[in-house]
């Protein structure tokens, strides 16, 4: 491990934890050092390759906190295990960068950081939606280039969202929160596509529609689409909130882009490979009134050729969770997962992770993805004792 790109905190600690990037705030570091661990932190902004990470795990590492930009595949996880590692904690809620099956085979718990990104990521998707629909990025460039000579009736005309139709693909926590923000804020009808019906969302929007009617306004409507194509044909705005797996790779391809309205808006703040980016470039070139807003990219951090030159696409650098509150709490959750596993504490099975956002937090791991597979003890109460423990059964 090179000394120039790494710093060591609490060098006298009895067990060594490797953290592959500097994390926001200081609570995460306090949690680790208070537990008596030596912490080696990479200070470089470069994305580390597997060889660099493998080298950093030696000599001896009991746990690592890594990043979504790193591939924690079977080989790297085996290196962690060989170095003395007993767990891996992902600084993200998503985990498509981790071979969880390989970790489970090695007996390594894999932590992640759910529950603190939902509103933040949904807000970013809303911000992209408004920026794209109202051509904010184009207007900013127009002003900075000194081209504004006064108000014009036809200058940078965008799309009105009020009372239009919103489509979301993936009605989980973030998709649902994003949908509610736009439906409540702009009185949009909602059509959603998900493998499972979201009855809670449907009931909520039915109640909201009743509230609007009681105040003399037109109600909003919500329905579950029969297919993705059904949704694409109906929606004025389409936002992607699906997980990334083999079935959702290039979920939006050339054929499905062709199903969308001429003036539609497409938003992706989920995972880049959900969109065939090359097909999106060609579609945006051929349909100048079609607009897209992207926070994530198929070959991140690289862009497909031609994407950056398109005026009808807004690009931001993976900012979905980028608020201080969210990123600092993600760091604290990632560190708490490490402390909990190394101390043999149970895994949290409560309704949310809010008890972990303040000191003192429960003596439990906030989120271990493979807890059931590894048959780890779980707890559902904030008062942790032997009586509260239970063991999951398959």
Among candidate residues 16, 271, 283, 327, the one labeled active-site is 271
Q: Are 268 and 168 in contact (CB under 8 A)?
A: no
Among candidate residues 123, 159, 229, 300, the one labeled active-site is 300
- Nearest Cα neighbor of 240 from 258, 226, 252 is 252
Q: Are 346 and 79 in contact (CB under 8 A)?
A: no
Question: How far apart are alpha carbons 135 and 220 in whole angstroms?
Answer: 26
User: Which string of DSSP letters, residue by residue, matches 171-230?
Assistant: -SHHHHHHHHHHHHHH--EEEEE-SS--HHHHHHHHHHHHHHHHTTSPPP-EEE-SSHHH
Query: Coil, strand, or helix at residue 143?
Result: helix
Q: Are 7 and 18 in contact (CB under 8 A)?
A: no
159 noted as active-site residue: no
Query: Coil, strand, or helix at residue 122?
Result: helix
271 noted as active-site residue: yes
Q: Using the CB atoms, write b or e for 230-259: b if 16+ within 10 Å.
A: bbbebbbbbbbbbebeeebeebbeeebbeb
Among candidate residues 134, 263, 318, 392, the one labeled active-site is 318
Q: Are 60 and 86 in contact (CB under 8 A)?
A: no
256 noted as active-site residue: no
User: Which string of DSSP letters, residue by residue, matches 330-347?
Assistant: HHHHHHHHHHHHHTT--E
Q: Which residues are catalytic?
A: 271, 300, 318
């Amino acid at each position: 491990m090179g000394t120039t790109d790494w710093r060591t905190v609490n060098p006298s600690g009895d067990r060594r934890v490797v953290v592959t990037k500097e994390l926001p705030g200081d609570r995460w570091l306090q949690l680790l050092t208070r537990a008596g661990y030596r912490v080696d932190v990479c200070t470089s902004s470069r994305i580390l390759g597997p060889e660099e990470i493998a080298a950093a795990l030696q000599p001896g590492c009991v746990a690592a906190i890594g990043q979504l930009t790193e591939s924690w595949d079977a080989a790297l996880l085996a290196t962690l295990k060989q170095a003395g590692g007993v767990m891996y904690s992902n600084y993200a809620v998503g985990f498509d960068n981790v071979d969880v099956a390989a970790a489970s085979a090695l007996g390594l718990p894999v932590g992640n950081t759910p529950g603190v990104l939902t509103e933040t990521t949904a807000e970013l998707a809303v911000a992209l939606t408004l920026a794209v629909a109202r051509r904010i990025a184009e207007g900013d460039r127009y002003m900075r280039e000194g081209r504004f000579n006064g108000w014009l009736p036809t200058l940078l005309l965008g799309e009105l969202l009020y009372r239009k139709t919103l489509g979301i693909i993936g009605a989980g926590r973030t998709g649902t929160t994003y949908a509610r923000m736009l439906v409540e804020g702009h009185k949009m009808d909602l059509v959603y596509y998900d493998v499972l019906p979201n009855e809670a969302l449907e009931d909520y929007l039915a109640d909201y529609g009743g509230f609007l009617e009681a105040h003399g306004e037109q109600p909003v409507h919500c329905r579950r689409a029969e297919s993705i194509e059904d949704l694409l044909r109906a929606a004025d705005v389409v936002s992607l909130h699906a997980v990334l797996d083999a079935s959702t790779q290039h979920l939006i391809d050339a054929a499905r882009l062709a199903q969308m309205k001429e003036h539609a808006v497409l938003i992706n703040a989920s995972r880049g490979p959900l969109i065939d980016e090359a097909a999106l470039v060609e579609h945006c070139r051929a349909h100048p009134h079609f607009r897209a807003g992207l926070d994530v990219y198929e070959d991140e951090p690289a862009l497909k050729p031609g994407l950056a030159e398109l005026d009808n696409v807004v690009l931001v650098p993976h900012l979905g969770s980028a608020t201080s509150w969210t990123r600092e709490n993600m760091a604290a959750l990632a560190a708490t997962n490490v402390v909990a596993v190394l101390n043999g504490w149970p895994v949290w099975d409560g309704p949310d992770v809010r008890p972990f956002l303040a000191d003192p937090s429960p003596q439990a791991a906030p989120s271990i993805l493979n807890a059931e597979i590894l048959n780890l003890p779980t707890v559902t109460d904030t008062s942790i004792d032997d009586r509260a423990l239970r063991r999951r059964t398959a």
